[in-house]
Each structure stands twice: as structure tokens, then as C-alpha cells.
Chain A
Amino acid sequence: MDIPLTREGVIASSDQLPVFPRLVTQILATLEDPDASLNVLAHYIEHDPVITARVLSLANRAATHRPISSPVSDVFTAISLIGLSQVRQTALMASLAEFLNTVAPVAKRHYFWEHSVVAGVGCVELAPYATRPANVDAALIAGLLHDIGQLWLARFKGDAFRRACSDSQLFNVGIEVSERAIFGVDHAQIGAWLAINWGLSENIVSAIAGHHAPDTLADEPLVAVVHVAEVLSNALDITGNAESRVATVSEPCCAMLGLDWGEDSQQLFGRIEARSRHALGFLQ
């Protein structure tokens, strides 16, 4: 191990990262109270002009097909037009995508951003498959943040992280294996430490921690959702990234989601691809 990392060291340097978006923790706090969430959600969104603009832009695209198409200019109308859950997911996605963009070093920005969005969309599609309830919005957050540990490594340990990436290609092993050889921990563990520090819920922390080694945690639905979404984001190659690789898909995770990869998988793939293209389009 060349550069051992500790939880204390990771958390200490995370002070140099941009502030974690408050909107995400605010929305998470409303999830348990669906009756109150309409007003509260609109209030939170309206306090962020960038997110408000994203939500209104999406609503105005939808309004193209309305019989009366005056421009949508407030969050309440947007919610009535495209639905509460889509507005909430749009706000989460725009908020976290902007955060990831500011955290990522320029050279890796495009890849991380696209990969995270596709994994997040995959999580939204897969959450309803879980044989035990998995909250869709928590799944989206976990999917968007699952590789945040890699962003930390790229930002604070750039040279060593590049070596881990090239070792991974050279020896045909997973990036997490190369990272553990160099840092003693992998990006999944680093991401989990950061998620705890940001006050994210236990199931999101577990999902980030377990996305490369999910078998022992596969009875937690969100772990299975994020693992399979991450595998599909690489398998479907929606972003056309040269680094896309699949090593394995966890059998216990597939069982948790009731997936046997029969012919009906084609519909799941198509939905993930269509929604990913839509999300990547409106977030650009």
C-alpha cells in the first residue's frame, strides 16, 4: 500500500469541496411526509434560481403538447403539468449534477457526470423492481453519488488515482481492486465516508459502500438497485465511454430485484436508454 488513506484524512480534506447541496437533504427530509411535500418542495426549489430554471425548462418542453400553451413560469404549475415525482427527481438530478460538475477535475468531468446520470436514471427504473420497498428518490441520490469517492480521489490524489486507473486496465482488474492496492481502501468506502459526513441516510451510505461488493449487503434493496444500475450503465454503453466494462452482476442482487435477464429485459434497457438521453439532454 503506497498511500494509505484514513476516514479522518478523507473527511478533513472534504472541507475543500464545494458545499453539499442543501436541497438534497431538504428533499430527503420531506420524503416521509408526502402530504406536506408539495408546498415544502416548491418552497425549497424556488429558493434556488438554477434549479427553478431547470424545472421550468422541463415543464415548458412538456407544455409544447398542451392544448393551451402559455409559458410555465412557476413551480406549482410545473408540478401540475409534469407531476410531483418528476419535479422532485429533476430538482435532485439538477442539484447533484451541478455539484458533481464542480467537484470533478476538468479532465474527468464529462465521464463522471454522464456515468452518474445514467446510473441515477437506472436506479429510478430499478427501484420498483425491488422485492422489498426501495424509495425511488433515495435510489436516485445513491445512483448519482455512487462514484463520489472516485471524484475525491481524482481531486485530491490525482497522480495515484491515474495510476490506479491504468493498473486496472493493464491487469484487467476492477478499479476498486487497484485502488485498494494503492490506498488501502476503494472509492466505494471513501464515498460512504463522505455520505455519512453529509448526513445522508444509512441506506444511501450502504448503497454507495456496497456497489462493487454487494453480495453481503444484497438484502438491503438500495444496495441491489445501485449495483445493478451501475452494471447496466456500463453494459448498455449509453454514453459511449471507452472505459465501460462489466466484470460481473451479483446474483443475490438480481434475486432481490426479481431479475433473471429474460427477453423482457429489452424493455428495461429501452426505458433506461430513453430516460437517460432525456436527462442528459435537459441537464446539459
Chain B
Amino acid sequence: MRTRKLYIPIAEATTGMVLAESVKDSYRLTYLPSGLTLSEENLHQLMANHAEFICILAPDERSDAAVADDTAAATQRVRDIFKGADLTQPMTAALFQQVLAYRSA
């Protein structure tokens, strides 16, 4: 099944979710590795470390056509937001590219 990376607030975390990125504590030490399927105990660990969000691999059940439509709409929306932007400026252009990539994913 196709998946996509999603950042979610910790309040939405449930058992069975798969981590797309490792979770680190305040000392930047990993305590839950990427690829882990969350158990009840892992949820307790997240709470104990005051985690506020996690990045998961969410099932993507959209058809190819739906994915293409969503990507096209997201791309157009980002272009509208940056319509008046000065894209000759390297930083603004780089930001535009990254937002485009983020919304098209």
C-alpha cells in the first residue's frame, strides 16, 4: 500500500501508527526509532518526554488520478501565494521550491 509522511499533533497519536522519523528527547537522543509501530507503552514514553508531535507513515488510499489532482491543486495554490514574490532573490526562490515540494508530496 502507498504511504505518505504526515506530521501529527501528539493528541492524534494512536497505537499501530508507524513512525516515519525517529523521536528524540530534549537531549536529542533517539528513544523511538523510525519504522517503529507504536504500542501503548510507546505512547506512555511520548507523554513522559512531553512530545508534542510525531511524524508517521500514513496509508495513502487515494487513486493515482486523485493524487495527481491533489498535487496539481496544491501546486497552483502555492504559485498563487508566491504570485507577487521576487523569485530572483535566492532565499525567496529556495523557500518557494521547498514549500512547493512540501505541498506536492
Residues of A in contact with B (beta carbons under 8 Å apart):
61-62, 64-67, 81-83, 86, 172, 231, 234-237, 244-251, 254, 260-263, 265-267, 269-271, 273-275, 277-278, 281
In the assembled complex, 28 residue pairs joining A and B whose CB atoms fall closer than 8 Å, in A order, are A62-B11, A62-B47, A65-B13, A65-B40, A65-B47, A172-B83, A172-B84, A237-B81, A244-B81, A246-B81, A248-B85, A248-B89, A250-B91, A251-B90, A254-B91, A262-B98, A263-B98, A266-B98, A266-B101, A269-B99, A269-B102, A270-B7, A271-B7, A274-B8, A275-B9, A278-B10, A278-B11, A278-B53
Nearest CB of B to A125, in Å? 10
Q: Check A82/B50 contact, CB under 8 A, given A245-B81, A271-B7, A275-B9.
A: yes
CB <8 Å contact, B92 and A249: yes
Closest to B15 in A: A65
**Are A234 and B44 interface neighbours, CB within 8 A?**
no
Select B84's contact among A61, A82, A247, A250, beta carbons within 8 Å: A247
* B72 on interface, CB distance cutoff 8 Å: no
Residue from A247, A262, A271 in contact with B53 in the complex, judged by beta carbons closer than 8 Å: A271
**In this complex, which of B10, B77, B105 has the most chain A Cβ atoms within 10 angstroms of its Cβ?**
B10
B95: nearest chain-A partner, CB-CB? A261
| Closest residue on chain B to residue A228 by CB atoms | B95
Within 8 A of A (CB), among B74-90: 77-78, 81-86, 89-90
- For chain B, residues 53 to 72, give those with C-beta under 8 angstroms from any C-beta of chain A: 53, 55
Of B50, B86, B103, the residue contacting A86 (CB under 8 A) is B50
A65 and B44 contact, CB distance less than 8 A: yes
| Known A260-B94, A275-B52: A270·B5 in contact at CB below 8 Å | yes
Partner-A contacts on B (CB < 8 A): 5-11, 13, 21, 40, 43-44, 46-47, 50, 52-53, 55, 77-78, 81-86, 89-92, 94-99, 101-103, 105
A145 to B91, CA, bound (A): 26
With the chains together, A267 CA to B6 CA distance in Å? 10
Known contacts A244-B81, A249-B92, A273-B7; A265 and B52 CB within 8 A of each other = no
- Dominant SS among interface residues on chain B: helix
Contacts of A234 in B (CB 8 A): 81
Question: From B5, which residue of chain A is reached at the shortest CB distance?
Answer: A270
- Complex alpha-carbon distance, A95 and B40, angstroms: 33
Q: Is the CB of B9 within 8 A of A278?
A: yes
A214 to chain B, nearest CB (A): 12
Distance in angstroms from A186 CB to nearest chain B CB is 17
Q: Which residues of A contact B53 (CB under 8 A)?
A: 270-271, 274-275, 278
Having A64-B11, A86-B50, one finds 10 other A-B pairs with CB under 8 Å, namely A250-B91, A260-B91, A261-B91, A261-B94, A265-B95, A269-B98, A269-B102, A270-B7, A275-B53, A278-B9
CB-defined contacts of B46 to chain A, threshold 8 Å: 65
Residue of A nearest to B47 (CB): A65
Chain A residue at minimum C-beta to C-beta distance from B86: A248
Contact present for B98 and A277 (CB under 8 Å): no
Q: Residues of A contacting B10 with CB < 8 Å?
A: 62, 278
Taking CB atoms, residues of chain B closer than 8 Å to A267 are 21, 55
Say whether, besides A66-B47, A235-B82, A261 and B97 are in contact (CB < 8 Å): yes
Residue of B nearest to A89 (CB): B52
B7 near A274: Cβ-Cβ < 8 Å: yes
B91 contacts across to A, CB distance below 8 A: 249-251, 254, 260-261
